Amino acid sequence: MKLNIAVLAGDGIGPEVIDQAVKVSDAIAKKFNHQIHWKPALTGAAAIDAVGDPYPDTTHDICASSDAVLFGAIGHPRFDNDPSAKVRPEQGLLKMRKKLGLFANVRPTFTFPSLLDKSPLKRERIEGTDLVFLRELTGGIYFGEKGRRDAGETAYDNCVYTRAEVQRLAKKGFELAMTRGKKLCCVDKANVLETSRLWRETVQAMEKEYPEVTVSYEFVDAVAMRLVQWPNSYDVLITENLFGDILTDEASVISGSMGLMPSASLGAKIGLFEPIHGSYPQATGLNIANPMATVLSAAMMFENFGLQAEGQAIRDAVNNALEKGIVTEDLADGGKAYGTKEVGDWLASNI
């Protein structure tokens, strides 16, 4: 297979972890006789510095003409610490999601047998956890009308959803549940929010189309609690943008490190694959960042192309590295810590 992949390394540790994912993907291409054409492009603070735009038109053109996007991370402290900044790296991420139509964020949370005791939760609570969040990505409060009034003393952010936006996300959730444990949880706050009531009634109306799927409806605060108590009770969860942003970060630490969790953002035509962690600017250039989440995001990318064996080969290599202690400092636990590049080299060599 010939693949054209846009590479958006971004800021902070983004370029370092992306380099390892590219290295591992090239090893997969060699092993399985594929051809990958990598197409680098600017985004985030790096793009602001270069052209004044966190997601310039040239980057969009590269992404839109590619088969997939492999993405690192964006963000820089000089923007985080300046509330008055008019242009921010995160604006580029929202713009990219909207222009590419990436409406479904897929975030799996699973455990690694060799790392069960590194989780902040007890082994007996997390063993067997294998859940997936589908977060709606292009609607809700992040994209609603926002602003200030009363001479800047009052701020507002509007949360708006259409039934069609809910339906297309829920459809992906039902379809994913059919390939897994056939359980779907709709996460909302329907006792308070009108948008949540729209979510709940829309999903309820779709149940008859998927009679094999058992559907539950839970308030977001209850799910936040149950993720800590019984995460292995969930299979597929669907939710709106803000709730999904918060809950997926909570779920990500179950495995023991945010540096292990991949994600995908899917639309009608193209998918973007990225680690869930941020740009971690304090570690930039120190060769200490964990590249495994980005590498596993590449595995999701191959699987999205229908290349299941290729994705599994990457997962096997990561599991082998974890079992043998070929890990960065976040997982070393007092033992030997390997550098970002060394972990990438080992994974590629193992493949």
Catalytic residue numbers read 142, 189, 221, 245, 249
Please, are residues 275 and 293 in contact by the beta-carbon 8 Å criterion? yes
300: nearest Cα among 292, 308, 289, 288:
308
Burial class for 117, CB neighbours closer than 10 Å (0-12, 13-18, 19+): exposed
Count H helices, E strands: the chain? 14, 12
DSSP string covering 127-148:
TT-EEEEEEE-SSGGGTS-EEE
347: nearest Cα among 28, 72, 114:
28
> What proportions of the chain, in percent to the nearest 5, are helix, strand and coil?
50, 20, 30
Which tokens is 94 given?
């929202």
* Contact residues for 30 (Cβ-Cβ < 8 A; gap 6+): none
Please, are residues 335 and 324 in contact by the beta-carbon 8 Å criterion? no
Please, are residues 112 and 76 in contact by the beta-carbon 8 Å criterion? no
Distances (CA, A) of 331 to 279, 282, 324: 18, 18, 12
Report the distance separating Cα 36 and Cα 64, nearest Å: 16
Using DSSP's 3-state secondary structure scheme, residue 185 falls into strand
Computed on alpha carbons and rounded to an integer, the radius of gyration of the chain in Å comes to: 20
Cα 302 from chain centroid?
15
